[in-house]
Structure 1
Amino acid sequence: MSDSLILTIIIVAVVAVVAIGVIAFVTKGRKPKTPYTSERDADDLPTGQSAEGDTDAAADTAGASDAPIAVQEPAAPAAPQLDVPEPVQGRLARLRARLTKSNNMFSKGLLALLSQDSIDEDVWEEIEENLLMADLGTEPALELVDALRERVKIEGSKDPARVKAMLREELLKLVDPSLDRSYLPEPHPDRPSIIMVVGVNGVGKTTTIGKMARVLVAEDKDVLLGAADTFRAAAAEQLATWGDRVGVPTVRSEIDGADPASVAFEAVSAGIDQEVDIVMIDTAGRLQNKVGLMDELGKIKRVVEKKATIDEVLLVLDATTGQNGLQQAKVFSEVVNVSGIVLTKLDGTAKGGIVVAIQRQLGVPVKLVGLGEGPDDLAPFNPEDFVDALLEG
């Protein structure tokens, strides 16, 4: 072996020894990293590692701290924050400004005509036209004009305050405070009260049911909703969203186009099992033909009444449709035994006289009215507050 080769081997060996020594020195001086610890089952450990197998790591960390590392468990998800509906009492009075605004011309026009120094036949005809434009209906308008004629003739007063008082009294007679406007069915000892809600699509029926749920919750009632409008894809989802806001459950089908009567039956069954106070059932509002509508709603009624009698059938109508809404009302009144009206969109372009016209045509009272877009802008109908709102301004 040559002297140069021997020298090369010696140099490599010396470098290796020096490197090993440096590594050993650095490793000895470095504090081992404390591993993340938590309570784990054997099944949580990596494959091939037993619960006792990590003895070296345990020995290295034994003196690092007298107390174990605390592992904070993730916080439980907070319960959803539920809406608290506004109290029902006084809602219509609070919303009166909206109704007043939409009927200002009605009241001002009538009062101006009735306060003239001389009320001749032309003026009475103008008063009648004013009433008809307010959607009062022909027969009620004639009744009101005849009553006012008689009172003006007897009293002969032109004082605006007295004229307004006369008009208020006669309008109130037409609205009829004697009608039963209770929207809360009588409770039953062994089952929920059942409310079926009907109306054509597009009048805000599902939204109105959601708002009604808020009214009932505000009255401390335990409510359950049944999404039996299975033909409109968004109806069940929309209804459930309204219910979720106030903690009201919704029974619905996961299949579009499911049998509405089956969903309604399941809703009533769930309401009985859960011992709720009221079950409200949404229904489809297609009016392609009266026969199909009659068959569908009739089937729902028959199937539901195998479990419980339907206590209330509420018809939702859009007040802005005016006299056209009366045609819809007639169809539904022929199909099911409507017991009350929910009149939506009474603010805006609606004419206050439609309340009288609907009640006259159907022979059933307006029980709730919608006066805005807010979730609590549905109020129990109060004849006195309503007439006062018509005559304000």
Structure 2
Amino acid sequence: MSTGEPKKKGLFSRWLRPGSDAPAAPEALAPETHAPEEPALETPAPESTSQPEPALDSTELDVAHADDTPHVEAPLPIEPEDPEPATPPPPAAPPARLGWFERLKQGMAKTSSRLTESITGLVTKKKLDADTLEELEEVLLAADLGIETSARITDALSKGRFGKMVTPTEIREILADEVARVLEPVAHPLVIDASHKPHVVLVLGVNGSGKTTTIGKLASKLSREGHRVMLAAGDTFRAAAIDQLKVWGERTGAPVIARDVGADASGLAFDALKDAREAGTDVLLIDTAGRLQNKEGLMAELEKVVRVLRKVDETAPHDVLLVLDATTGQNAMQQVEVFGKRAGVTGLIMTKLDGTARGGILVAIAAKHGLPVHAIGVGEGVEDLQSFSAKDYARAIAEL
């Protein structure tokens, strides 16, 4: 570059050339500093355009009026990654607790859906004839309702409807009526006789039927009703059963009589009854070891427990409850027969109705044996064991 060439104007001067709309420059500015000049490149100068340069915007004006001190941008404020809302949302309301009948319907859904689906498939767009009635009876038998109850239902359905169109709802209503008619005579809540101090309840059942859990739930119910309850851990074969009963004792405030694993069950029952008498207990619930009904030695031991109790109180036990697992189906019928003969069963409790499609077995047992049904269970919670209602059961099994 030649020495006579005019110096290149600074940025500030170029912005404020004559004709610009920008305001006048400040009175005093620091002198511009220039980097050493480099040789000019042999490139043609850009052609000038006649169009005026655009007016400065507000941002450029701010830069133009700034002094020549180095500009350091202020760091942007760091916002929290998850800012808390100004007003937190209200907590979600807990789901409403279903009533007993709704829980019963849900628990028996496997049994009822199997029945009602089969019924619907039989009678849709079809007149009621002999073949349909025979097929319907097979469906009822498959649900373990028993021969007698199944025949009663088909007989009631055929009266006045044979050769006519019937709806699934009509059949379900007849099903509910006939089931209720069978169950109403056996629906009896467990009654504690205040004349016995204590009222002794011996609880039996096969392995896995839910005896110990049922005892705990009964203890909870009776304690809420104001009874003083004592528990006896008569399942001396399993340490887990003893520990489980102790936990229920802590929950319900009921004392637990227990011995070491392998102790004599009849001796424990004897001691428990004596202790309950001395303590003025209202109800003594005695657990027993699970045993298959075809094991002679174990059934003989059960008979011994009953004999020993009668040495303390000749009227004891006042109730002998057999806990039945609904999932066993027809095997439950045999349990009622054998335990009834060997231990004098006085009443039934059926559990696990929520885990099977064969809940109709309770109807068959009631029709054949006529034993009182005190309670049924449809879940693990304390409130999932309730006194038996024939009407509720019949409506639940028919999905009404």
TM-score, with length taken from structure 1 = 0.70
State the secondary structure of the residue aligned to 2:359: coil
Q: Provide the residue aligned with 1:118 in structure 2.
A: 127
Q: Provide the residue aligned with 1:226 in structure 2.
A: 232
Q: Say whether 1:170 aligns with 2:175.
A: no
1:327 to 331, 334, 359: 334
**8 Å Cα contact 1:322/1:350 also seen in 2:** no
**8 Å Cα contact 1:103/1:351 also seen in 2:** no
What is the Cα deviation at residue 347 of structure 1? 0.8
Q: Provide the residue aligned with 1:216 in structure 2.
A: 222
Structure 2: state its 5+ residue gaps: 1-98
Q: How does 1:84-123 map to 2 (within 5 A)?
A: 91-92=100-101, 94-100=103-109, 102-110=111-119, 113=122, 116-123=125-132
**8 Å Cα contact 2:153/2:174 also seen in 1:** no
What is the Cα deviation at residue 116 of structure 1? 4.8
**8 Å Cα contact 2:324/2:348 also seen in 1:** yes
**8 Å Cα contact 1:316/1:342 also seen in 2:** yes
- Bigger Cα displacement from structure 2, 93-102 vs 255-264: 93-102
Q: Give me the whole-angstrom Cα distance separating, in 2, the residues matched to 1:131 and 1:365.
A: 23
Larger Rg: 2
Q: Give me the whole-angstrom Cα distance separating, in 2, the residues matched to 1:140 and 1:96.
A: 21
Q: Say whether 1:351 aligns with 2:328.
A: no
**8 Å Cα contact 1:269/1:307 also seen in 2:** yes
Q: Say whether 1:127 aligns with 2:150.
A: no
2:158 to 131, 149, 156: 149
What is the Cα deviation at residue 151 of structure 1? 4.9
> What is the identity, as a one-letter code, of the residue corresponding to 2:367?
R
Q: Give me the whole-angstrom Cα distance separating, in 2, the residues matched to 1:264 and 1:100.
A: 39
**8 Å Cα contact 2:324/2:349 also seen in 1:** yes
Q: How does 1:184-333 map to 2 (within 5 A)?
A: 184-188=191-195, 191-253=197-259, 255-287=260-292, 289-308=294-313, 309-333=316-340
Q: Give me the whole-angstrom Cα distance separating, in 1, the residues matched to 2:322 and 2:180.
A: 23
Q: Say whether 1:339 aligns with 2:346.
A: yes
> What is the identity, as a one-letter code, of the residue corresponding to 2:330?
Q
Structure 1: state its 5+ residue gaps: 1-89
- Closer/same/farther in 2, CA of residues 111 and 178 from structure 1, 3 Å limit: farther
State the secondary structure of the residue aligned to 2:306: helix
Q: Say whether 1:374 aligns with 2:381.
A: yes
Q: Once the two structures are superposed, what CA deviation does each residue of 1:369-390 show, in whole Å capped at 9, x if it has no partner? A: 1101223311111010111111
**8 Å Cα contact 2:182/2:367 also seen in 1:** no
Q: Give me the whole-angstrom Cα distance separating, in 1, the residues matched to 2:229 and 2:101.
A: 23
Q: Once the two structures are superposed, what CA deviation does each residue of 1:315-371 show, in whole Å capped at 9, x if it has no partner? A: 011101101222222221121111111111001224231111122343313221110
- Closer/same/farther in 2, CA of residues 384 and 157 from structure 1, 3 Å limit: farther
- Closer/same/farther in 2, CA of residues 318 and 102 from structure 1, 3 Å limit: same
State the secondary structure of the residue aligned to 1:334: helix
> What is the identity, as a one-letter code, of the residue corresponding to 1:207?
T
Q: Give me the whole-angstrom Cα distance separating, in 1, the residues matched to 2:173 and 2:160.
A: 11
Q: Give me the whole-angstrom Cα distance separating, in 1, the residues matched to 2:399 and 2:286.
A: 37
